[in-house]
Structure 1
Amino acid sequence: MPVNTTLRENVAIALQSIGGNRLRTSLTALIIAIGIMALVGILTAIEGIKQFTNDAFSSLGANSFTIQNRGSGINFGNGGHRKIYPAISYDEAQRFKTRYKLPAVVAINLTVSSTAVVKYESEKTNPNITVTGSNENFVSTNGYKIALGRNFSASELEHGASVVIIGDEVRIQLFKNHDPINKPIFIGSNKFYVIGVFASKGSSAGAGDRVCLIPILRAKQLASTSNPSFAINVMATNSGALDASVGEATGLIRNIRGLNIANDDNFEITRSDSIQQQLAGQLAGITIAGFAIGAITLIGAAIGLMNIMLVSVTERTREIGIRKAIGATPTVIRRQFLIEAIVICLIGGVAGIILGMAIGNLIAVQISGTFIVPWLWLFAAIVLCTLIGLSSGFYPAKKASKLDPVEALRYE
């Protein structure tokens, strides 16, 4: 009980002193608030980005990978000419799908256009629709769900029927609140019948809801080149066997493309977890930058707080002398000034947390669509403010506790 009473008295005295020096205290608290705001704001935004990327990759599955044509490079040994790698043909992709024996779901994809215009009667979309051809496994390998209608049938895939599954944004632009199933739409000058609608993935997920999916053979007919390159998406059913799945796929596609031991791969395999690791590395860099910005600001705030506390000790020398004369020990005086420094830091810290969460969530909500409360960083910010108060207030508190009471009473 006496400890609690003493603590309450010290806090009350600290608040009284803060109230008597509003301008200096406000400036110091503001500097601390800016540092905490930068720290909490950046970390809140990063938490939102992490949540979005985790959701995106969990829908795709961390056990998936893509086989595609190798990118063009510069061959310095050939006069600097670009080396062109052979496209992955439909026949090669189909043979891979048939001969791949490990438990997996395989989709063959071909992007026809990423700037298509889709029309229905008098309505039309902006020229930003991605038209992709694939088989029945596109839905699962790309993390989509069908909200209305159905997937492709075996007959539609075999004959390259003029049917399409549209993204939610395409549905909204063309059909508003009407049922789009079995309605005819035009992709460019080609007529298709809508058989399904994808559930919304959100505007941040790449093509996301601005997609039209058609049978792979129909996409092959619409391709702008006579020799398009197909991509193969593979999602292993066992995430623990991803390395084995990639190894098996590498050997199989090399065999299909007629590569011997001496030949380099003329294709590339991209794993979804490697992309996620790259993004995590970039986010770690941003996190370090956020810590650096916050740390520099908080160091400046700590120096400012120490100066204010030294000025406060000088201005309250006579008060310290009176307190010592009536029995206050050096420990009590030291504790009083330390608590005052901590209270100033916590006032700035709370303001910084509120501002940081507001600014961070402006970014996080736009990216992930959810409000983020980074509890770990909030508690860390409170602890950090307390440590700053202790470190900044220690020297002034020590100086105050060592004042001679007689000299302090005579101070004018």
Structure 2
Amino acid sequence: MTYTENVRLALQSIKSNRLRTMLTALIIAIGLSALVGILTSLDAVKASMTEAFSSMGANSFTIRNRGSGIRVGNPGQRPKPFKSIRYEEALEFKERLNPAATVAISVRASSGATVKYGTEKTNPNINVQGVDENGLSAQGLELALGRNFSNTESLQGNNVCIIGSEISKTLFKGQSPLDKVINVGNNRLKVIGVLVSKGSSMGFSGDRAVYVPLLKAKQINSNNDPSYTITVMVPNMDLLENMIGEATAEFRNIRKLKTTASANFEITKSDAVAQTLFENLAFIAIGGVAIGIITLIGASIGLMNIMLVSVTERTREIGIRKAIGATPSVIRKQFLIEAVVICLMGGAMGILFGILLGNGISLMMGGSFIIPWLFILGGFALCVIVGVISGYYPAKKASKLDPVEALRYE
């Protein structure tokens, strides 16, 4: 018999036991959808993170009053916070650091502001962030309209702002927002720029943010003790380590630390943050693979049981086929192909659900939509392997049936 005839016979057998077959295929689909879904969402988020970090550049580092909060191992241990980096300290550091580097200073002024223009207003979830003239480029943000802050505006705290694309669409309905005055909380600010839409990354969306000059953020900050973030960008990677050493020494002097005292601030390279995140994602991927494999093992046991029942129910059919000349290898091949077909049916459903689930999670987290061709091919290959393993024993049992005894089976 050809493979085509065997597949046709397998589909006929599946038709006669639809409910039983679909339940088995559904178990396989659940296992594969969990596996493909987790791996797809992780790949999509990883691609989004890579894009976000590459836009900021790998040749930069950040000075904060605490660590990034990203740790591999010791999940209950949080980074130790130090005293806040003050506005004056950040400005002094910017003035004193080697001019070969570009220094950007930023601070979050509010995370729940409402922005209004005329009768239109946003939800009360707008982030207000203070930046200097280098702050936008340090965060990988680009202007779609208007201009950036000048150094003078940053230091004098002018009543101007740059808004995200989503805020522009909500308030101005396609009209140009430039030179319009909006209310951000209790502050009236003139719009001088609109950002290119970037989506969200790691829980923060520049599309729903308002950027104000650094001193203005200091004046309107709802936090009594804000800590400023300093980002240092160097022209090329060769200067990075030397600049980190110089920045460490300079900032220790600014914070008046003794030679023997430990640093009360954290310096983090942008590529180190990305690498740590990717390592954490690898652990999540291992967990996802383990969950999927455990589910598939359960599905394979269920499939083997179904095939054993099928062999018992079709004993007389097997006897007739052997009586008219079917060899044990033909019988074995028929039941193996039937098991593989059931697995492939469940696998197709599982892969489809997994892709939709994974990309849905990714889009909610600000990632991009991807089609994981490697996981699709790997999923179908896994289905064939599971089908062969689950169907081998029942197929072998069917091929060894005595034709005389099988014909007498009632």
Fold similarity call, TM over 0.5: yes
Provide the rounded CA distance (Å) in 2 between the counterparts of 1:392 and 1:176: 59
How well do the aligned residues superpose, as a CA RMSD in angstroms? 2.7
Report the counterpart of residue 175 of structure 1 in structure 2.
172
Report the counterpart of residue 67 of structure 1 in structure 2.
63
| SS in structure 2 at match of 1:17 | helix
Q: 1:105 to 1:333 in 2, by over 3 A?
A: same
Counterpart check, 1:235 vs 2:230: no
Aligned-partner residue type, residue 178 of structure 1: Q
Counterpart check, 1:254 vs 2:259: no
Q: Once the 2 structures are TM-superposed, how far is the Cα of residue 260 of structure 1 from its aligned partner?
A: 2.8
Q: Once the 2 structures are TM-superposed, how far is the Cα of residue 223 of structure 1 from its aligned partner?
A: 4.5
Q: Once the 2 structures are TM-superposed, how far is the Cα of residue 253 of structure 1 from its aligned partner?
A: 1.2
Report the counterpart of residue 329 of structure 2 in structure 1.
331
Alignment of structure 1 residues 12-411 onto 2, 5 Å:
12-70=8-66, 86-101=83-98, 103-203=100-200, 206-223=204-221, 229-239=227-237, 242-368=240-366, 370-411=368-409
- Contact 1:105/1:141 (CA < 8 Å) preserved in 2? no
Rg larger in structure:
1
Q: 1:397 to 1:233 in 2, by over 3 A?
A: same
Provide the rounded CA distance (Å) in 2 between the counterparts of 1:406 and 1:84: 81
Aligned-partner residue type, residue 363 of structure 2: V
**Normalization by structure 2: what TM-score?**
0.86
- Contact 2:155/2:214 (CA < 8 Å) preserved in 1? no
Q: Which runs of 5+ in 2 are unaligned?
A: 68-79
Aligned-partner residue type, residue 338 of structure 1: L
Q: Once the 2 structures are TM-superposed, how far is the Cα of residue 88 of structure 1 from its aligned partner?
A: 3.0
Provide the rounded CA distance (Å) in 2 between the counterparts of 1:310 and 1:118: 67
Report the counterpart of residue 77 of structure 1 in structure 2.
none
| SS in structure 1 at match of 2:266 | strand
| SS in structure 2 at match of 1:209 | helix
Provide the rounded CA distance (Å) in 2 between the counterparts of 1:308 and 1:158: 75
Aligned-partner residue type, residue 195 of structure 2: F
- Contact 2:59/2:235 (CA < 8 Å) preserved in 1? yes
Q: 1:333 to 1:122 in 2, by over 3 A?
A: closer
Aligned-partner residue type, residue 114 of structure 1: S
Report the counterpart of residue 75 of structure 2 in structure 1.
none
| SS in structure 2 at match of 1:260 | coil
Provide the rounded CA distance (Å) in 2 between the counterparts of 1:303 and 1:373: 30
Provide the rounded CA distance (Å) in 2 between the counterparts of 1:328 and 1:226: 86
Q: Once the 2 structures are TM-superposed, how far is the Cα of residue 95 of structure 1 from its aligned partner?
A: 3.2
Q: 1:37 to 1:250 in 2, by over 3 A?
A: same
Q: Deviations over 1:355-384 (max 9, x none)?
A: 222333332333346432111111111111
Aligned-partner residue type, residue 325 of structure 2: G
Provide the rounded CA distance (Å) in 1 between the counterparts of 2:233 and 2:387: 53
Q: 1:115 to 1:255 in 2, by over 3 A?
A: same
Stretch moving more, 52-61 or 84-93: 84-93
Provide the rounded CA distance (Å) in 1 between the counterparts of 2:387 and 2:4: 18
Q: Deviations over 1:62-94 (max 9, x none)?
A: 3332212348xxxxxxxxxxx995543444323
Q: Which runs of 5+ in 1 are unaligned?
A: 72-82
Q: Once the 2 structures are TM-superposed, how far is the Cα of residue 392 of structure 1 from its aligned partner?
A: 0.8
Q: How many residues align?
A: 397
| SS in structure 1 at match of 2:262 | coil
Q: 1:335 to 1:242 in 2, by over 3 A?
A: farther
Provide the rounded CA distance (Å) in 1 between the counterparts of 2:193 and 2:100: 27
Provide the rounded CA distance (Å) in 2 between the counterparts of 1:14 and 1:253: 73
Report the counterpart of residue 80 of structure 1 in structure 2.
none
Q: 1:132 to 1:257 in 2, by over 3 A?
A: same
Q: Deviations over 1:163-192 (max 9, x none)?
A: 221222332333232222122233344433
Q: 1:339 to 1:241 in 2, by over 3 A?
A: farther
Provide the rounded CA distance (Å) in 2 between the counterparts of 1:23 and 1:354: 21
